A and B are shown apart, each in its own frame.
Chain A
C-alpha cells in the first residue's frame, strides 16, 4: 500500500513538473509557426515567443521611421589647389578627398594663360594594404594631399627648376566625430522597443494564435476589442512616436556633421613664381599654416543649403633671388549656396580673401597687403565630376585678377572599395 502511494505521488509530481514544460513547448511551437509564416521568415529561431515579440515590435515601430535622406547634404572633397590661381571657389573647404580626385584648370591672369593640373590623394591608400579596407577607412577621413603643377611649361625660363609647383595638406580635425545625442536617442528608442517586446511576449505565449495576435497588433485599423480578441487578452502596447521623431533629427544632425561641418588644418607649400612672371624676383618658397572651418545648413526640404566658411593662418615667404623674407597674416571668409538637383549639386560661393604684412616695399613680389573678392560656381556634369568657373578681382593691393575654368573628377580609385 505504501509503495503504491509513493508511486502515485511520484507520478503526480512528474505530471505537475512536466505540465508547464509541455505548455511552454506548445507556446513555442505556436510562436515558431507564426515566425515562419511571416513574409520573410527568419532562418534562425532560438526562443520563438521572445523573437516573435521583437519582430512584432519592429513591425510596429517601422511605421514611425521616416528616412531623413531628403534633407541631407552631399559632400565635397575636390582636388582644387587652394591658394593658387586655379583655386576653384572662395575659401575652399578643407574636407579631404575620400579616395582620389584630380583637377585640370585653365587659368587667365595678368601675364597670360596657364594650365594647372592638380591631384589629391588620400595617403592612406598609398601606405595601407589594399586588402585591408577597414584600416584604410579608419584613417581615410583624416587628411589628403594635393600636388599641383602648371602643365603648359614646367621650366619656361630654362633655369633647371620647375617654374611653379605646390602641395596642400588638408587635415580634418572632426574626422570620425559622432553625435552623442544620436547615440543617446538610439539607445532610448531601442530600450523602449525592448520594453514593449517584454510586455508582449507573455501575451503571445498565452495566445492560441500568436500570428493572428501580431497581425491585429500591427493592423492600422484594428480596434482594442479586435486586438484583445485576437490575442486572447488585452495587449499593453503604446509606441512613443516622439522618440522616433527625435531619433530622426539626431541622425540627420550626425550626417550633417560629417557632410557639412568641418574644422581642419590647411597647410600649403608653394615653390616658384606664383605670379607667372608679372613681377621680377617673385620666385620663392612660401609656407602657409591655417585653421579652417565651415558650416553648411540645409533647409527643411532638403534641396537648397547655405553655408559659411573661413580660414585664418600665417604665411612665411622667402624669395629665391633676394634675402627678403616675410611673415604674413592670411585668411578669408566666404558664403556658399548650393542646391541638390536630382543626383547633382550646384554650388555658388562668394567671399573675401586677404593677406597682410608690414612689408610695404616688396608687397607685390611677396604677394601681400591685398584683399580680393573671389567667386566660384560648380556645375556637376556627372555623379563625380564637375565644371568649375572661378573669378577673383582685387579690391585693395597689387595682385592680378584671375579667371579659371576647371574640370574636377573625384574618387577615381573606386576599385579599392571593399577589396
Chain B
C-alpha cells in the first residue's frame, strides 16, 4: 500500500518505528529516505526481528523543501505489524499494516 500522508515542517527529524508481532513469519525491513530540491539527501534502513520494535530516524534540511519516503517490507502480507511515524518526537501517523507499505511526506 502506498499513500501520500501529508506535509511536515522542514528542519524536523522524521522517525519511523516498526513494531513487528512475534507471530510474523520473518524479519521486516523499514527504510526512511529523504531528498530535498537542493540535492540534500539521506537514508536509513534496518531490519526488525519478529517480536521486536525498532526505529530509524533521519533529519531534514531547515532551508529546503523536499520529500520523505518511508517503506516497510514485511515477510508476508499477513504479518501483524504497526508503523508509527514521529516528527520531532511527536506522533504524526500510526497504523496497523496490511502488507508492504510506503508512506510519502512532503517536507514544506
* A, B in one complex: yes
- Please report A residues at the B interface, Cβ cutoff 8 Å: 38, 40, 42-47, 50-51, 53-55, 57-59, 62, 65, 67-69, 72-75, 98-99, 133-134, 136-138, 140-141, 176, 178-179, 182-183, 186-187, 189-191, 193-194, 197-198, 251, 254-255, 257-259, 343, 383-384, 410-411, 413-414, 416-418
Contacts of A383 in B (CB 8 A): 23, 25
Q: Which B residues from 46 to 103 make CB contacts under 8 A with A? A: 46-55, 65-69, 71, 73-78, 82, 92, 99-100, 102
Tell whether, in the assembled complex, residue B71 and residue A55 are in contact, meaning their CB atoms are under 8 Å apart. no
Known contacts A42-B6, A194-B66; is-contact A255 B29 (Cβ 8 Å): yes
Known contacts A42-B7, A46-B7, A47-B65; is-contact A75 B50 (Cβ 8 Å): yes
Q: Please tell me if B13 contacts chain A, counting CB pairs below 8 Å.
A: no
Inter-chain residue pair count (beta carbon < 8 A): 206
Q: Is the interface of A mostly helix, strand, loop or mixed?
A: helix
Contacts of B106 in A (CB 8 A): 46-47, 50-51, 53-55, 197
**Could you list 7 further interchain pairs (A-B, Cβ under 8 angstroms) beyond the known A186-B45, A343-B76?**
A46-B7, A69-B74, A69-B77, A75-B27, A176-B46, A258-B47, A417-B20
CB distance from A408 to the nearest CB of B (A): 14
Tell whether, in the assembled complex, residue B108 and residue A417 are in contact, meaning their CB atoms are under 8 Å apart. no
In angstroms, Cα B34 to Cα A197, docked, is: 13
How many residues of B are in contact with the other chain, CB < 8 A?
A: 61
Tell whether, in the assembled complex, residue B49 and residue A55 are in contact, meaning their CB atoms are under 8 Å apart. no
Tell whether, in the assembled complex, residue B4 and residue A187 are in contact, meaning their CB atoms are under 8 Å apart. no
Known contacts A42-B4, A44-B8, A47-B108; is-contact A254 B53 (Cβ 8 Å): no
Contacts of A74 in B (CB 8 A): 25-26, 75
Tell whether, in the assembled complex, residue B26 and residue A73 are in contact, meaning their CB atoms are under 8 Å apart. yes
Using CB atoms, name the residue of chain B closest to A38.
Answer: B4
Contacts of A58 in B (CB 8 A): 2-4, 67, 69, 102, 104
In angstroms, Cα B27 to Cα A176, docked, is: 11
Contacts of A133 in B (CB 8 A): 19, 52-53
Tell whether, in the assembled complex, residue B35 and residue A194 are in contact, meaning their CB atoms are under 8 Å apart. yes
Contacts of A254 in B (CB 8 A): 29, 45, 47
Known contacts A74-B26, A417-B51; is-contact A194 B36 (Cβ 8 Å): yes
CB < 8 Å neighbour of B45 from A43, A75, A183, A259: A183
Tell whether, in the assembled complex, residue B35 and residue A193 are in contact, meaning their CB atoms are under 8 Å apart. yes
A-B contact pairs, 22 of them (CB 8 A): A42-B5, A47-B65, A51-B6, A54-B106, A58-B4, A58-B67, A58-B102, A67-B77, A74-B25, A137-B52, A138-B54, A186-B71, A189-B33, A190-B35, A190-B41, A190-B68, A255-B29, A255-B75, A257-B47, A258-B27, A343-B76, A417-B51
Contacts of B50 in A (CB 8 A): 75, 98-99, 411
CB distance from B54 to the nearest CB of A (A): 4
Known contacts A54-B106, A178-B46; is-contact A190 B33 (Cβ 8 Å): yes
In angstroms, Cα B31 to Cα A176, docked, is: 13
Known contacts A58-B104, A343-B78; is-contact A411 B22 (Cβ 8 Å): yes
Tell whether, in the assembled complex, residue B82 and residue A187 are in contact, meaning their CB atoms are under 8 Å apart. no
